[in-house]
């Protein structure tokens, strides 16, 4: 039966910085009890990861970086949603960030600004001042698997613990897929 822990060997994240991107290693103490597991980097994408390691799709939370623009200013934010859901980026997220225009941050921009690998970006260790918008379903999910900043690792945290991150806010961000 798939679960958040799946078939992975979880270890205290603070004791394994080699599995974390440098900004994540520096900030992982902000998330009580964060665990980390090594994975095959070729299996880092959500569907492949969940299938290979018997992790429930509903226990996998994705982090997307969005860029909101208003009056020539660009503001970035991280949006956390379960893999089974889609964030209402053009509605809820855009209005919450008071942006006239919003989009997913381009690949190179997201990687360069976060210091993390694409496909492993996580809300832990993001640049100072970035909002971390955590969907209600992530908070209520209990244990969730998120990125470690690298494609070769995953973090196991609780959705509630994500709210302790700097700039974290709980919101109703999603709409159920069609």
Q: Report pLDDT digits (tens) over 92-141.
A: 999 999 999 999 999 999 999 999 999 999 999 999 999 999 999 999 99
CA distance 137 to 170: 10
This prediction has a pTM of 0.94
pLDDT of residue 178: 46
pLDDT of residue 2: 84
Residues in Cβ contact with 89 at an 8 Å cutoff, skipping those fewer than 6 apart: 64, 66, 79, 102, 103, 104
CA distance 120 to 104: 15
Per CATH, is 11-175 categorized as 3.90.960.10?
yes
Residue 114 in 3-state DSSP? helix
């Amino acid at each position: 039966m798939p679960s958040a822990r799946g078939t992975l060997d979880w270890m205290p994240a603070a004791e394994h910085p080699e599995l974390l991107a440098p900004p994540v290693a520096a900030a992982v103490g902000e998330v009580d009890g964060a665990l980390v597991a090594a994975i095959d980097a070729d299996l880092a994408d959500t569907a492949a990861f969940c299938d290979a390691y018997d992790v429930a799709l509903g226990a996998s939370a994705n982090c997307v970086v969005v860029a909101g623009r208003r009056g020539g200013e660009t503001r970035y934010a991280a949006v956390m949603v379960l893999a089974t859901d889609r964030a209402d980026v053009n509605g809820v997220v855009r209005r919450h960030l008071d942006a006239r225009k919003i989009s997913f941050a381009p690949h190179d921009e997201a990687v360069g600004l976060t210091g993390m690998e694409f496909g492993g970006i996580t809300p832990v260790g993001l640049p100072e001042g970035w909002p971390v918008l955590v969907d209600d379903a992530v908070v209520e999910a209990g244990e969730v698997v998120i990125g470690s900043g690298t494609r070769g690792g995953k973090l196991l945290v609780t959705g509630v613990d994500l709210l302790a991150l700097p700039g974290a806010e709980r919101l109703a961000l999603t709409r159920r897929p069609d």
